[in-house]
Amino acid sequence: MEFHFYEPAAGHGLRHNPLNSIIAPRPIGWISTRSKEGGFNLAPYSFFNTFHYDPPILGFASTGWKDTAQNAVETGEFVWNLVSEDLGEQMNMTSQPVARGVDEFKLAGLTAIAANKVSAPRVAESRASMECKVVDVVQFRNTRGEQLPGWLVLGEVVGVHIDHDLLKDGVYQTALARPLMRCGGLSDYALLSQEWMVEIHRAPDEALRDSHGS
């Protein structure tokens, strides 16, 4: 498997920026980390998305102070890995509550491979990955200002890996990757495939201004 790798600060080198194409609707935050002791951890998060374009920033929310959040905070690094249709069962295996120190890569029969810019590993079987360095950690509060047992971990993307087969004429093919997306309930997922794709072209800038009354 060959990958197109780029550092966002240096430009992506493609005809179209792939960032918001890789991050599909209702994406799964399959986050891999490395503990300060050197152990590997891998877990999926349904509260996940991308929040800024340049520089790219993505984040995941942890309900409870779990191993992934602790590792990311202590080492300042994590990797997001795409969950495609063929990795669904293995992703599900990594969601099991296990004791700290258990390697979910081994538990799910996955391969931990070295990243380019961070010490956290990436999933070798995943067709797209994003290496991140932590830029902020926010503990949630309610309207009364009381702290809640949930944290948002935000990381700047410093490296991107894309399977070359997912690039056509310099454009990332979202549906070709067949990503799984989290739905409601404990076991409901959606699969994005080409037959579910639709094109809605953006209106000209003038039309957008008119529609907003400016």
Residue type, 208: L
**pLDDT number for residue 21:** 57
Q: Which residue has the higher pLDDT, 97 or 11?
A: 11
Backbone angle region of 76, left / alpha / beta, with phi > 0 → left and psi within -120 to 50 → alpha: left
Quick one: which of 150, 126, 182 has its CA closest to 68? 150
Q: H or E segment at 210?
A: helix 205-211
**pLDDT number for residue 141:** 95
- Above pLDDT 90, what percent of the chain? 72
User: What domains appear along the chain, each with residue ranges and CATH number?
Assistant: 3-211 (2.30.110.10)
d(CA 122, CA 151) in angstroms, rounded, equals 22
According to DSSP, the residues that pair with 49 across neighbouring strands are 59
| Predicted TM-score (pTM) of this structure | 0.84
- Segment 37-61 shows an average pLDDT of 95
**pLDDT number for residue 108:** 96
Per residue in 81-126, pLDDT tens?
Answer: 999 999 999 999 999 888 787 899 999 999 999 999 999 999 999 9
Q: Which two tokens stand for residue 32?
A: 């891999």
pLDDT category of residue 196 using cuts at 50, 70 and 90: confident
